[in-house]
């Protein structure tokens, strides 16, 4: 049994006036949601409670905390804030990693069931699905998520459509509204990995998704210092099943990590605004660069996902794809030549980073060998550009 979060957050708008108030913007909610009650002398930030167990006698009452693998008050402010940002009726459910959250979503698929997901989803998500196929006879269908007709044809008889948009690392953009409607009409459960877009970029629940998952590790926490995940849903029954999964499997989040994630969340809007602007500017300059073969970023008018992203998202994200002229060797040399950009996996931190994705044997083989995934951070764009431009010249010997 888990306890329900105790809803200890203050109202999102002061209630002194009876005049109708405009809804608060997401940027404001990221700052204001999940705060302790405004009591005289009370803290403005929630405390971290380090306790594995709670005083308890007899039968557990509703709302009573019992044991930290099941529930702890230290999760609640973050869970509340994330649900507020995603527009969810239920509190979010935080996990020890994005993959733990994704595993909880896959638990909805029965043995012998069917899952449809993008062929360029995060490689470990694809690996998880393959493991379900091998061990539980699940039919896993990989689709080009940008091809709406292909996805709709594939979801006939499916138990779960897991959408990533934009995809990692190819940045394909799905027609989210169309896919979510089609899945609902066919009774297919839908989950959207909203890690790349963030709740500020798109709100899948409002478009009809059953579940949203996040690697909180990335933009939500934002500082490359924690690994966390979360599930968000409007559906009380699904939420209860996800919480039960968390309790059973034990992939729980540590209190300090969740506290850090909430602190990171406070600056989400500023970080996303700055990193998106940087990414769009760097993408624009790269398209005109003589040492560049191809650039992918939905902000580019020539990008296959541009029109759709402009219609369905607010903002174009901060990850871009780059293929330098000269192939894989030049791509590897570029990763070595940068001095400011950090050569590292992951994304969504304040610092800019890059890596060649096919260095992982497990990466999808339809991802080009020379594709670099760039996660653009919040540094000064001129510094980022100077370093990248210099590294391109060094890598190509030009």
Is 54 one of the catalytic residues?
Answer: no
Residue 201 is a binding residue for ligand PLP (CB under 6 A): no
Is 114 one of the catalytic residues?
Answer: no
Q: Pick the binder of ligand PLP from 195, 275, 353, 375 (CB under 6 A).
A: 195
Residue 349 is a binding residue for ligand PLP (CB under 6 A): no
Residue 98 is a binding residue for ligand PLP (CB under 6 A): yes
Residue 68 is a binding residue for ligand PLP (CB under 6 A): no
Q: What does the buried/exposed string (b/e) look like for 203-228 if buried means 16 or more CB atoms within 10 Å of the residue's CB?
A: bbbebbbbbbbbbbbbbbbbebebbb
Is 67 one of the catalytic residues?
Answer: no
Residue 229 is a binding residue for ligand PLP (CB under 6 A): yes
Residue 97 is a binding residue for ligand PLP (CB under 6 A): yes
Residue (168 or 224) nearer to ligand PLP, CB = 168
Residue 103 is a binding residue for ligand PLP (CB under 6 A): no
Residue recorded with tokens 């650039």: 295
Residue 168 is a binding residue for ligand PLP (CB under 6 A): yes
Residue 204 is a binding residue for ligand PLP (CB under 6 A): no
Q: Pick the binder of ligand PLP from 108, 122, 316, 341 (CB under 6 A).
A: 122
Considering the candidates 71, 159, 175, 193, report the single residue annotated as catalytic. Answer: 193
Considering the candidates 218, 243, 357, 358, report the single residue annotated as catalytic. Answer: 218
Is 193 one of the catalytic residues?
Answer: yes
In angstroms, the CA 275 to CA 266 distance is 16
Size of the site for ligand PLP (CB under 6 A): 15
Considering the candidates 71, 122, 323, 332, report the single residue annotated as catalytic. Answer: 122
Binding site for ligand PLP (CB under 6 A): 97-99, 102, 122, 164, 168, 193, 195-196, 215, 217, 227, 229, 346
Active site residues: 69, 122, 193, 218
């Amino acid at each position: 049994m888990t306890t329900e979060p105790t809803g200890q957050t203050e109202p999102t708008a002061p209630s002194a006036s009876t005049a109708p108030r405009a809804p608060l913007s997401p940027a404001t909610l990221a700052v204001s949601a999940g705060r302790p009650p405004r009591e005289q002398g009370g803290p403005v930030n929630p405390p971290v409670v380090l306790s594995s167990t709670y005083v308890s006698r007899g039968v557990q009452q509703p709302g009573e905390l019992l044991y930290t693998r099941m529930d702890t008050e230290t999760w609640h402010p973050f869970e509340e804030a994330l649900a507020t940002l995603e527009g969810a009726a239920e509190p979010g459910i935080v996990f020890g990693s994005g993959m733990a959250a994704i595993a909880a979503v896959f638990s909805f698929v029965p043995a012998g069931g069917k899952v449809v997901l993008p062929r360029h989803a995060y490689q470990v998500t694809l690996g998880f699905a393959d493991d379900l196929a091998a061990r539980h006879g699940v039919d896993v269908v990989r689709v080009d998520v940008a091809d709406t007709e292909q996805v709709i044809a594939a979801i006939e008889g499916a138990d779960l459509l897991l959408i990533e948009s934009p995809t990692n690392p190819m940045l394909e953009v799905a027609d989210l509204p169309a896919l979510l409607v089609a899945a609902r009409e066919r009774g297919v459960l839908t989950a959207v990995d909203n890690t790349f877009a963030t709740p500020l970029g798109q709100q899948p629940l409002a478009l009809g998704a059953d579940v949203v998952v996040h690697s909180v590790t990335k933009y939500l926490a934002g500082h490359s210092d924690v690994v966390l995940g979360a599930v968000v849903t409007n559906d009380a029954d699904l939420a209860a099943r996800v919480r039960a999964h968390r309790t059973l499997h034990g992939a729980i989040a540590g209190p300090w990590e969740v506290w850090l994630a909430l602190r990171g969340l406070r600056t989400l809007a500023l970080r996303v605004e700055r990193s998106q602007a940087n990414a769009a500017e760097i993408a624009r300059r790269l398209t005109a660069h003589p040492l560049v073969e191809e650039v992918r970023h939905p902000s580019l008018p020539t990008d296959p996902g541009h029109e759709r992203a402009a219609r369905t998202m607010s903002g174009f994200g901060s990850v871009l794809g780059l293929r330098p002229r000269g192939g894989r060797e030049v791509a590897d040399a570029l990763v070595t030549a940068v001095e400011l950009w950090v050569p590292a996996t992951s994304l969504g931190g304040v610092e800019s980073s890059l890596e060649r994705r096919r260095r992982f044997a497990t990466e999808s083989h339809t991802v080009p060998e020379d594709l670099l995934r760039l996660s653009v951070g919040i540094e000064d764009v001129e510094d980022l550009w100077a370093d990248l431009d210099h590294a391109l010249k060094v890598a190509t010997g030009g």
